[in-house]
Copies of this chain bind each other. A is one copy, B any other.
């Protein structure tokens, strides 16, 4: 019996849980896997979506990379009449943080609104361990994490604003809601959006734009491969990056299997 998910406060019914949502299809995620955060961000900009790069969080480990559906968690400023780390009656496991971890599905990326707080270690060893056991693919938290040394050993890719010895409810914030829209690093993320994150940072791809993005990005990755080859052959930057009408014709011939003379 799941007694821990009952409300933890008589003042406000907590934790808040948003509506159910749909995750991206495995096929879409597989195709997105070839797209870098930089290409996703640029293509979305070209498609008219301009705020997609989460400001603040950086990869805990260089070389991190993840693509997955967004599961969301929202912190709020702590208030002792509702719930608090220093409140006798408060049990941290009754919060949205414990609750959301029970809903993790294979491949999910947890996106967390924590206001970039330097004083809140939203996740530590035990929570990331549990997240991993449930199949979680990565975490993007606009806040800090703790137990960094142990967390790194777990190998779950994490984007965060730093590390801290504080635990999640120790100081200024506490976990409030999940499965709700969140604002992370100046970007709106809805549950079920697609997250693409790598060394450049994390990008939120609106679920309704993901397919169009993938199609556009695949062409982009292809012609960039051609451009790279041409530049290495001594081609001039302005002729091959981005493609001109001339070099696009060359590229299309190359793509279609023609043998080309050197640049």
Contact = CB atoms under 8 A, between A and B. Distances in A.
Contacts of A93: 237-238, 241-242
A133 B80 contact: no
B48 A165 contact: no
A115 interface: yes
A143 interface: no
A211 interface: no
A178 to B, nearest CB: 14
Given A206-B79, A237-B102, A38 B181 contact: no
Oligomeric state, in copies: 6
Q: Most chain-B CB neighbours within 10 Å: which of A190, A227, A237?
A: A237
Contacts of A176: 181
A45 B85 contact: yes
B129 A228 contact: yes
A78 to B, nearest CB: 6
B126 A58 contact: no
A101 interface: yes
A231 B172 CA distance: 28
Given A78-B188, A98-B238, A126 B228 contact: yes
A218 interface: no
